[in-house]
Structures are given as structure tokens and as C-alpha cells.
Amino acid sequence: MSHQSDLIASDILEYLKQHENKQMLRFLTCGNVDDGKSTLIGRLLHDSKMIYEDQLAAIEKDSAKSGTTGEKIDLALLVDGLAAEREQGITIDVAYRYFSTAKRKFIIADTPGHEQYTRNMATGASTCDLAIILIDARYGVQTQTKRHSFIASLLGIKHVVVAVNKMDLLDFSEERFNEIREDYLEFAQKLNLDDIRFVPMSALDGDNVVDRSERSAWFKGQTLMEILETVEIDEDKNLENFRLPVQYVNRPNLDFRGFCGTVAAGTIKPGETIMALPSQKTSKVESIVTYDGNLDEAFVGQAVTLTLEDEIDISRGDVIVKADDLPEVGSKLNANIVWMTEGAMVPGKPYDLKFASSATAGTFTQIHHLIDVNTLEHSAAEQVGLNEIALVEVSLDKAIPFDTYSKIAGTGAFIIIDRLTNVTIGAGMIVGAAAADGSNTAPVSADEKARRFNQKPAIVAVNAANAEDIVNALDRRLYEMGRVSGIATAETAQVLKANGIVALVAGGADGADISLAADQESLDNLIADLQEQGII
């Protein structure tokens, strides 16, 4: 199987040492449906001899049942492992695969092409150094090509390989390849992509994937594998601005206190002065501890434990930085968000947000604009739906240290969590600080309150012999559901409604939005009536 099988047989320890010291490249494949993403990964694994014989035999057998390539082996089945994926011939979830060559180790993320799985594509792209954008040579640049290219740019991927696939169906036409190249470059002018390369290929037959194809003698560039093995990614890392989000405080005994985490950016050495945020306490690094021993210097990406010369209060969620190089600290941010759930993001509604190792609650106070991923044009919006991307203003319950995502991804990104289900429903990339707190002195509108508490202001009249008891019970139940209601008289109900509150009135009330005949109804049924009317 391995490209270094001889070394494995003769000196396994030397092989493992060489393998451990290889540089790691993380990349993803993306693009439109049926452009050949899974087939390309299968071809990479096959031609780099990283498929076990029993795996290959199983794929050959499955190709007869689930394959889509006729009599040829369907290499896409190596990564499309879900039954639904094989039945439909599509990728649904992100599939990760690992392989290596003599020069590098690789982790591949095979991401879906369907628009409804855009959130999966964004998840796969979030940790990658390079993106392979596949384009079917017959159809050229498509909507999903643009969508995935924009998301790759948004997530800070600097290297893109545009793989013009299925060129064998067009006899490897140089004219068609150049036409697609020009179309893509015209669109990419609007994106923040530093390094774009193009390869004409056939993933099914292996042309220009690992081995150079004789059918494209006109192509003088590198094959896909040559690009993957040689692309420079060291310069992509930020080595200037030291950031260490504290994951854990290690206190095994009275003589040791260490602050553990993965270096998000920069470097640090013993003796350098650091500051802990948000407390702003300073000290000097005494030692850099790892499992393999102390280090003279720690770099971005390394998991380390710092010990300090002074006893200062640092907790999980704090960020350790150099005292002369501070991030911004604030509670109002502007950020690009990718929304990943069916329920729309509505300004004013509270969410939990997780930044590196810290968490806080917050709301989206304003949608600056939606971003059309096809044209990159901006448009106004009142909410953000599934798979949509928008620039928003975020207001947090507490001030946090942060950087812009383009500067340091580790301290410039956050995830959005639903407070009831604890499910991740969105991802954000910080673009900078928003207006200072207190700059907006406009009164809080009833509409803003309604969005915050996910309810519609209304007057609810409860008619029953024990109406006051039922009103009290309803008020308690709505409170437990996170809504805001108030018990009112017929005279005060309109005031509560005007202020965005659900007014509960025992007995009749002029102008009531809903009247509940509650004598024979359970509390659950009354709540269901309010939900059916769209009040809560």
C-alpha cells in the first residue's frame, strides 16, 4: 500500500520518525453537484497507493451494485459511505480521509455540492489550508462554484486549485479550458484569493491528478498532486501576534500552576512579558511545558502549558498575549455570519456565542446587509435564512478580547448556539469593532422587544369562572418559556401591548386580540391556542 513500504520493512522506527516530521496540508474538495469531488479523492488515494487491497476489492464489488461509472471502478464509493449517498450518487455529509506521500501528510475534507448542505461545506472549509474547486468542463462556472469560492475566501483560505474535470468528455480541448479559466478569474477578482491555479483533468481516468496526461500535451502546469506537495503554506500562519486562549488551568500540586492551550497565533519564549485579558494583569513566562519536555520557544499550532513568574489570576476563557501587542477588547462587533439552521436569525433574539475557549450570551442588533454569493452584491434584510451569509452587528453581554478573522482566525471566529437545544446554528467571522456602547440612545421599540422574546404583542382575554387563577398560571408558564407577559386590567392592557408585552386580562377587554374560553381547557391547550395564533 505505502509509497515507503521498503522503509517500513527494513526500519519501521526510521519510517515513523520521517512520517512524524512531514508537514501537514489540510484541503477540501468543493463545487457543484456531480462535478466529481468524491471521484477525485478516490483517485488521489488510489494513484498514491493509499488503498488497502481488501478496501479495493470491496469497492470493486460495490461498484457493480451502487457505482455510476459503468464497467469502471467507482472510486467515489471510498468516501461516499452513507447509504443515502450511494443511493442518490451524491455527497451529503463531510467525509474526511487521510493519506501521505514521501513529501507531505494530507487530510482531505470531501464536502457536499448541494445548496442545502452549504453549512456542511463551510464546516469542512473552516480548518483547511487549500481548496480544490471542481468544475465540470461541459457546464463551466456554476452557481455553487461561485458560492463555494466565496465561502472559501470568507473563511480565509488563501490557496485555490480550480480543477476543470471531465476534460476527457471534450477531448481535452485547450480552448474550452481557457474559456473556463477566464470566466472564473473574472468572478474571482471580487474575492480575497491570493493564489489561484488551474488544472485540466479527468478524475475518473486519472489524467493530471497524480500522473501527467498525454492527452493534454498543451498543458505545461503542475499536476494536482505536484501542487499539493509543493504549495507553500508556512507563510499563511501569523507568527507576529501572540495569542493563547486558555483552555485549562493545570494545578496538580502546590508547586505547579500552568495555563494550557493551543497557540492561536505568534510565538512565545521564556522571559517574555505577557498580559492576561480581560484582567490586564502582567507577568513573565517562566517556562513552556509540553509532554515531550520544556521548549525554548512555542509556535502557532502547538499545544503548550505556560508557567509564569508571578501568581496572577487566569481562568479558562482568558487570553494570554504579549504585553506590547494587544488585541481589541469590546462588546459590540461587526461580523460575517453563515446561518446553518432552518429557523431564521432574527435581530434581537438572544443566542449563546462561543469564542475560542470563552462563551457569552449576545444578540444580533442589526443586519447591515445580506451578501448574494453569485454576484457578491449587498441587499437589505430583516432576517437571515438557512445557508445565507450576512454582515451583522453583534452585541455581547460582556466585553471580550478579539482580533479580526483575516488577521487571526483563532481569536476572530465564533459559533452561534441555540439556547434551548444547545445546537450549533451558525458561524461568525469578525470584521472589526462596531460603534461604541451607548452610541444608540433611541428608545427600545415594541418590535425589538417582540423579536428578542420571540413573541407578538397582544391582548389575551381569559374568560372563566376562575379567570384570575388561570391568568396567573399562564403568566408563570410564559415566564418559564422565556416569554414576557404581564397581568393587566382592561384599562392598562393597551399600554402593555404597545410596549411589546403579551397582556393577560382576566375577563373581557376591549380590543382583545384573542379571547380564551378557559373553563374546560387545560393550561397546555391554552398555550397551544396562543402558539396557533402566532402570539408565542
Which residue ranges are tagged as binding site? 31-38, 110-114, 165-168
Q: Are the C-beta atoms of residues 391 and 431 closer than 8 Å to each other?
A: yes
Buried b (16+ CB within 10 A) or exposed e, 122-146: bbbbbebbbbbbbbbbeeebbebbb
With beta carbons less than 8 A apart as the criterion, state whether 203 and 78 touch: no
Contact (Cβ atoms closer than 8 angstroms) between residue 322 and residue 239: no
Grid coordinates standing for 318? 482568558
Helix, strand, or coil (residue 502): strand
Provide the CA 63 distance to its chain's centre, in angstroms: 33
Q: Point out the annotated binding site for GTP.
A: 31-38, 110-114, 165-168
- Buried/exposed 368-397: b ≥16 CB within 10 Å, e otherwise: bebbebeeeeeeebebbebbbbbbbbbbbe
CA-closest candidate to residue 162, choices 142, 176, 145, 175: 145
Compute the C-alpha angle 349/352/356, nearest 5°. 140
Cβ count within 10 A of residue 334: 18
CA angle 234-239-244, nearest 5°? 120
Residue 299, C-alpha cell as written in the block:
509556535
- Distance, in Å, from the CA atom of 240 to the CA atom of 171, rounded to the nearest integer, reads 49
Q: Can you tell me the distance from the alpha carbon of 519 to that of 516, in angstroms, rounded to the nearest whole number?
A: 9
140: Cα separation from own chain's centroid:
27
Instruction: Return the SS3 of 390.
Output: strand
**CA-based nearest residue to 474, from 489, 492, 462, 458:** 462
